[in-house]
Amino acid sequence: MTILLTGSSRGIGAAIHTALTDAGASVIGHGTASGIPADFSDPAGPTALWNAALEQAGGTIDVLINNAGVFEAATLGDDDWTAQWERTMRINLTASAELCRMAVLHWQSRGFGGRIVNIASRAAYRGDSPAHWHYAASKAGMVAMTKTIARGYAREGILAFAVCPGFTMTGMAEDYLSSRGGDALLADIPLGRVAAPEEIAAAAKFLALEAPASMTGSVIDVNGASYVR
């Protein structure tokens, strides 16, 4: 079982990497600090990553996990608001879409299926702060894309799932919590704490390795009941 995992060098990605490796999977990582480097703000990044990963894998990738992403603020008055919108869309959504496309084509050409796990966000359903229109929209796009892939290719054994984490204690969440009053924000989470990266990793590992095929198209929330739908 060979898995391509984006953004594997830190945060949630590093926890997913550990969970999958502990389960015996062969993981091809991606990132600056470890794995195959590829900058998704560069339109050539996703294809370069896919080709390098395929070569490293010896020609077959069984599972794609799109985890890399950015959470950057863009205030309405910023002159570069549109440039920031496009940057977040490219890194969070377009790069994921291009990797999904290459994975689906790969699985179609080899004649048996594969799995996609997209790490989206609670923001896909709940929305986000006024400085994060782009982030919420990129994650909602990921969820819609996941469902579309699930419906389109299930007959070919190609399955697609999404995970929607709430606040998870990584660099991304620490910045957000401190910019929004720290502990006060925790009052919004019935569980009383943010998620641990290992909790998101448990959901991602389940979907990548164990989830029954009939679950294709589903989205798993991991948010301490801070948003229920």
Ligand X SMILES: NC(=O)c1ccc[n+]([C@@H]2O[C@H](COP(=O)([O-])OP(=O)(O)OC[C@H]3O[C@@H](n4cnc5c(N)ncnc54)[C@H](OP(=O)(O)O)[C@@H]3O)[C@@H](O)[C@H]2O)c1
Residues with a known catalytic role: 135
Nearer to ligand X, 110 or 180 (CB): 180
What is the radius of gyration, based on Cα positions, of the chain?
17
Among the candidate windows 34-42, 50-58, 102-110, 143-151, which touches ligand X by CB under 6 A? 34-42
Among 40, 125, 153, 161, binds ligand X (CB under 6 A): 40
* Size of interface with ligand X, in residues (CB under 6 A): 27
Q: Does position 146 bind ligand X by CB under 6 A?
A: no
State the CB neighbour count (10 A cutoff) for residue 202. Answer: 17
Cα separation, 222 vs 229, whole angstroms: 12
Q: Does position 178 bind ligand X by CB under 6 A?
A: no
Nearer to ligand X, 71 or 113 (CB): 71
Among the candidate windows 29-37, 56-64, 154-162, 179-187, which touches ligand X by CB under 6 A? 29-37
Cα separation, 121 vs 126, whole angstroms: 9
Cα separation, 128 vs 121, whole angstroms: 10
Where does residue 183 rank: exposed (0-12), middle (13-18), buried (19+ CB within 10 A)? exposed
Cα separation, 49 vs 140, whole angstroms: 24
Q: Which residues bind ligand X (CB under 6 A)?
A: 7, 9-13, 31-33, 39-41, 67-71, 91, 119, 121, 165, 167-168, 170-173
